Structure 1
Amino acid sequence: MVSRRIRVFAPLTVLLLSGPAFLSGCGTAGTNFVVKDDPWRSPEERACLASGVVRQTAFVHERSALGGPSVCGAEIPFEMSAADNGRIALEPPASLRCPMIPQIDSWVKNVVEPAARYYFRQDLAGVKILASYSCRPMNSVEGAQISEHAYANAVDIGGFRLANGDTISVLHGWNGSDREQAFLQRVHEGSCDYFTTVLSPKYNRLHADHFHLDLAHHGRDGLMRICK
């Protein structure tokens, strides 16, 4: 693999982080990162787009751009404001590439909603998004490899809102009440069935307040999963 060191100039960084969907998780934005040539990215995204699995609706629509020009972004980015046919709000909406959208939708329907009903006897109403697209290095460490957030291929989840108005945050619930801990553990474990990278508060202190979920390829065949 060929790596390139890229410096994103400050005016561009400010533009990319200006909207609510661009809030930075895993730290604050950096401007100097290493880009590795990943031949799987473009074919994977184009196959998703061609499949028709993602269709524009009232809560999923195409974005014209994610800022730029730069090495960051997606071929056709989308903004997703809700999952499960609009029932579950993403707060705020997330800017994502095509392959992430059906995974988030399935994860919400098959993992988070059942867990909320089981542990709290409540329907799920919303998912708190701390970060989606952000043109920056991993963990916002200057000089590190580019983040999956920079390709709109990752999302950071800060918590969940129930139909009765109660919220369960990752920051306070991970070591909170027995029900909160059990719910978040169930969500964490279930996430590993839908995403190739799942990082929780037990991974390191930078993830104390969120779950990081992405679809990066790992290992020689790209099929390895990281669930921590």
Structure 2
Amino acid sequence: MTHSGQRTVAILLVGALLFVFSGCANRSLYSWRDQAWRKDAEAICMGKGGYESSAFVERMRRINDKGACGIWYPLKVSGALQGYVAYSTPAVVNCPMTAAVDGWFYHVVQPAAARIYGAYVTKVQVMASYSCRTRNSKAYAKVSEHSFGNALDIGAFTLSDGRTVTVQHGWRGSAADRAFLREAHSGACKLFTTVIGPDGDSHHYNHFHLDLARHNEDGSYHYCK
């Protein structure tokens, strides 16, 4: 075989290997379209009235993003509990997350704020909702639940008495702030399948990450840190 022939064969082999490895990588970045439970969960939530269309919850067109990312029935949410808790910036999430967040505020956050501060939460800082990326934006990591509108990051709570409790400073702050944030965190663990706060890892030093990932086949396993 001539030198040019050997070079051509080498190029073809490299190309074939890249194709194989690329295919494996793409399969590891599972798509929203390939996981039937995602569409089922969204459709069931929409069908059972998991949200009410209002000035604070607006239905959007399907998001069919690049690669693995997308949402079947996305919602643009500017406030929880029909606007009683305003969002610092509108969040793009799916219906199950919208319903779970409402439940969290109603059953956990507001009762904790009333008991500890004698006030109620009027606004929260939304640090992230839908975003097409890997977990913690790390190269070659698994796809984040943010990529499916199945996650929300909360950084701070503003109360009716004017105070603001941040996750970053309140987690190890005053006794009241510590009690409130820990109750909000532990209560979230009963409603979401993934909850990560400042004690979870360095990436979450300043916010709570909440999502509804299905960690096992029946979705019964909860990850709470």
> What band does the TM-score fall into relative to the shorter chain?
0.7 to 0.9
Q: Which residue of the partner structure matches residue 82 of structure 1?
A: 79
Q: Which amino acid aligns with 2:187?
A: G
- Structure-1 separation of matches of 2:123 and 2:86: 4
- Structure-2 separation of matches of 1:186 and 1:227: 13
Q: Which residue of the partner structure matches residue 169 of structure 1?
A: 166
In the superposition, the TM-score normalised over structure 2's length comes to 0.83
Q: Which has the larger radius of gyration?
A: 2
Change (3 A) 1:67 1:221: closer
1:39 aligns with 2:36: yes
Q: Which residue of the partner structure matches residue 220 of structure 2?
A: 223
- Structure-1 separation of matches of 2:113 and 2:50: 27
1:163, CA displacement in angstroms? 1.1
Change (3 A) 1:171 1:62: same
Q: Any idea what SS the aligned residue of 1:5 has?
A: helix
Change (3 A) 1:73 1:57: same
Change (3 A) 1:4 1:118: farther
Q: Which amino acid aligns with 1:35?
A: Y
1:31-180 residue pairs with structure 2 within 5 A? 34-35=29-30, 37-66=34-63, 68-180=65-177
For the aligned residue pairs, the C-alpha RMSD in angstroms reads: 1.9
In the superposition, the TM-score normalised over structure 1's length comes to 0.82
- Structure-1 separation of matches of 2:40 and 2:211: 17
Flag the structure with higher helix content. Answer: 2
Q: How many residues align?
A: 201
1:71, CA displacement in angstroms? 2.6
Percent sequence identity is 40
Q: Which amino acid aligns with 1:52?
A: G
Q: Relative contact order (C-alpha < 8 Å, sep 6+): which is higher?
A: 1
Give the unaligned 5+ runs of structure 2. Answer: 1-22
- Structure-2 separation of matches of 1:220 and 1:5: 22
Q: Any idea what SS the aligned residue of 2:131 has?
A: coil
